[in-house]
Amino acid sequence: MAAFDIVGKGVPRTDARAKATGSATYTDDIKLPGMLHGRLLRSPVAHARILNIDTSRAKALPGVKSVITGADIPPVRYGNWRLFPNLQDEYALARDKVRFIGDEVAAVAAVDRDTAEEALGLISVEYEELPAVFDVDAAMRRGAPLVHDEVEGNVSLDRKIRYGDVESAFKEADYVRKDTFTVQAVSHAYLEPCSSVAQCDQDGRITLWTSTQVPYIVQCLLASTLKMRENDIRVIKPTVGGGFGGKMELRPWEFCAAFMARSTGKPVKFTLTRREELATGRRRHPMKLISKVGFKKDGTLLAKDLKILLDGGAYNAMGPTATFLCGNFGAMLYRYPAYRFLGLHVYTNKPPASAMRGFGAPQSLFASETQMNLAAEELGIDPIDLRLKNAQVPGDEIPDVATISSCGFRECLENVAVMSDWKKKRKSKKKGYGVGIGCYSFISGGVFNWFNTQYAFSTAEVRAFADGTVHLLTMASDIGQGSDTVLKQILAEELGLAMQDIRLTTADTAMTPQADLGTWGSRVTLMAGNAVIDAARQIKEQLFGAVSARFNLNVIYDLECKGGRVQAVGKPERGVSFGEAVAMVQKTNRGKALVVRGSYTPRRKGLVTPAFSFGAQVAEVQVDQRTGLVDVKNMWTAHDCGTVINSKSVEGQLEGSLHMGLGYALSEQLVMDGGVTVNDTFLDYKIPTALDMPHGVSACVPTYEPEGPMGAKEAGEGMVSPTAPAIADAVHRATGYRCMDLPITPEKILSGMKNKG
């Protein structure tokens, strides 16, 4: 493995100072002259036909500049799954039906926010209420009301995976169990609510600043919904305060801001309230998972039969991808000689679920990992031993789906057992005390082109200058995960430069090269990283040529970019500074600037991802046996993310996923009463606080991912998955209560303990 100068170090983030001092500019900080403020009118009912909308009183209110409804906009349906247009099921504003409480019905732009808000109250909408469905069982019942008239049975999509002979494997098995799990909806709860500002120029072109993970997708879908050309839309991503999957689609306020900026000739801003975010926003899919597994007596896994019903809410959003992925994760981590998966994405009259950190994995792995722990208990095998016996190893193939390249899962299991002193702690009989385990695998970006992009998946342009600096331009979007820093590090490493030698322009669809699919599925480090390396190598090729000519080097000499110089390996005196080398190339090319483009598109990588990450986590809890309160004392994590590019970033990702996993396990839940989200404030939507955080210790298992940039792969998204099953297992040891339906509330623990007697 190569030794690195900058890669692997805990280089401070490029945005650290701006964020710490409050000077980072988020979308809502943008104020343009003459700017109008928009607000959205949302449906108060879960399912209804719109009979009539009267906007006249709102339009007459002084200060109101524009009021639009579904009737005013082009009737274009959109959605991220462009490859299958029948899955594109949304209009920016409702046309004839509303399908969930919060569905966008009309938009107002006015001179200030209060006036816009007041105008909303002056719009009268006549609804004819329709019967509604609020869970997957009701939605799939014969004769159930249809959320979308054209989708029979409310199942918008099914996904099947099948290999091996499942039926005969179950017949051979000594031990078969079937369990049903349910998991709740949770919110991304990014700290920055969605916000967008649009401006229309003299030529009618639109610029949209928006809090998004996917500027390119927003650009394309905005073009199609506005019936404009892609190049007439410019999307810029300012500093973004988190997304976690909740900002990866075109959203109605982005459309409305652009549409109204064009119609009024004035900039228009929309910023959502926290209440809107919690009550109507995207969320992680609630699921019902029915899983049957078969083992031999000695613990060898033989087969799994998994059925997952995803409660998708009123629209597909990123549900189709989640349906694919939860089936994929059902067969990850362990070797299943036979596997059958059926995933159904079901419409209900609730706010749509979509992508959220883990993208189907947290749900699927909660079920899988809990079931492993149940099986271990009944087979009388230590749960870590049972996992080691079945663990995936490098080279394992999942037929038709993926081949696993680098894989340090066994090492993770062995490591975490040692770190946590597992054998000893697991035996403890202390009252209310327990340790438990959960594991994960995750993807490093997706390979399936559901957006049907005509460009490379990731692209990077590098411009080199004679003053020894370079300019990196990429559409890759840093939404707080730190990709700006990591991409700079990769480029600095390749070109032998320092961080401050690199100027960075990102996530501006008019200025950075087409294209990048955005930030989701842990794709940026691997894909944009590879694009950066591709560009850097092209730069190097030219610099090496110039230096080689200048020193009349024998062709067998190898050259390097190192410490700000371009030189022969082992003979640094035969070399020049980086800037001089650039000047030489420029001279050779009679003044032509040294500019290159690199790209990356995964090819021949199956259906899922170019690379999988792995990890194992042990939780230690103390449960108050009389109140059912869980105190998570310690978490030990061993994970395999390939080469660590930035140690501080990886550490931050680990902390963040622990925090999110903790909430998923114990306290977070969007409580629904029919179609109403009951807890729409941070008072009652319970995100763990800093004081709830357990002490965490982690270790990276060293592996090298051949497909990754400098051997790197995913870190931090997958790690959100093992926490809930690990805590659930620990709580079971502590109390006898085995959680089959997240979250693990004190009430469930107490009643679970009572049932045990």
Partner 1 sequence: MIVRFEYFAPKSLDEVLRLLDEYGPDACLLAGGTDLLLKIRAGAVTPTAVIAIKAVKGLDLISFDTTKGLFIGATALLSDFAGHPAVTKHYPALRDAALATANVQVRNMGTVIGNLCNASPCADNAPTLIAMGGTAVVESRNGGRCVPLEDFFKGPGQSVIGPGEIVTSVTVPVPPKGSGASYLSLSQRSRVDMSAVGAGVFVRLESSRIAQASIVMGSVGPVPMRASKAEAILAGKRPSAALFARAGEAAAKESKPISDVRASASYRRQAVGVLVERALGEAAARAKGD
Q: 């031999």: which residue's tokens?
A: 296
| 355/750 with CB nearer partner 1 | 750
Q: Minimum Å distance from CB 507 to partner 1? A: 33
| 223/623 with CB nearer partner 1 | 623
- List CB contacts of 50: < 8 A, sequence separation 6 or more: 70, 94, 95, 96, 97, 98, 105, 125, 126, 127
Q: What is the distance of C-alpha 467 from the center of its chain? A: 38
Cα separations (Å) of 193 from 210, 271, 468? Answer: 11, 7, 40
Q: Minimum Å distance from CB 56 to partner 1? A: 20
Q: Minimum Å distance from CB 306 to partner 1? A: 31
Per DSSP, the three-state class of 33 is coil
Q: Minimum Å distance from CB 629 to partner 1? A: 6
| 471/686 with CB nearer partner 1 | 686
CA distance 441 to 334: 10
CA distance 544 to 379: 62
Q: Minimum Å distance from CB 192 to partner 1? A: 19
Mind giving me the DSSP string for 702-733? P---TTSGGGB---SSGGGSSHHHHHHHHHHH
Q: Which residues of 377-409 are buried (b: 16+ CB within 10 A; e: fewer)?
A: bebebbbbebbbbbbbeeebebeebbebbbbbb
| 552/689 with CB nearer partner 1 | 689
Mind giving me the DSSP string for 177-188? EEEEEEE-----
Q: Minimum Å distance from CB 266 to partner 1? A: 22
| 427/754 with CB nearer partner 1 | 754
| 15/118 with CB nearer partner 1 | 118
Task: Reply yes or no: is the peptide bond before residue 110 cis, omega within 30 of 0.
Answer: no
| 128/684 with CB nearer partner 1 | 684
Q: Minimum Å distance from CB 118 to partner 1? A: 5
Token pair listed for 609? 């991802």
Q: Minimum Å distance from CB 22 to partner 1? A: 16
- Interface residues with partner 1 (CB under 8 A)? 114, 117-118, 626-629, 631, 666-667, 671, 678-679, 683-684, 686-689, 691-692, 745-747, 750
Q: Minimum Å distance from CB 349 to partner 1? A: 20
**Amino acid sitting at position 291:** S
CA distance 715 to 515: 23
**Amino acid sitting at position 240:** V
| 474/677 with CB nearer partner 1 | 677
| 118/230 with CB nearer partner 1 | 118
Q: Minimum Å distance from CB 683 to partner 1? A: 6
| 1/691 with CB nearer partner 1 | 691
- List CB contacts of 129: < 8 A, sequence separation 6 or more: 45, 47, 48
**Is residue 376 within 8 Å of 295, Cβ to Cβ?**
no
DSSP state of 357: T
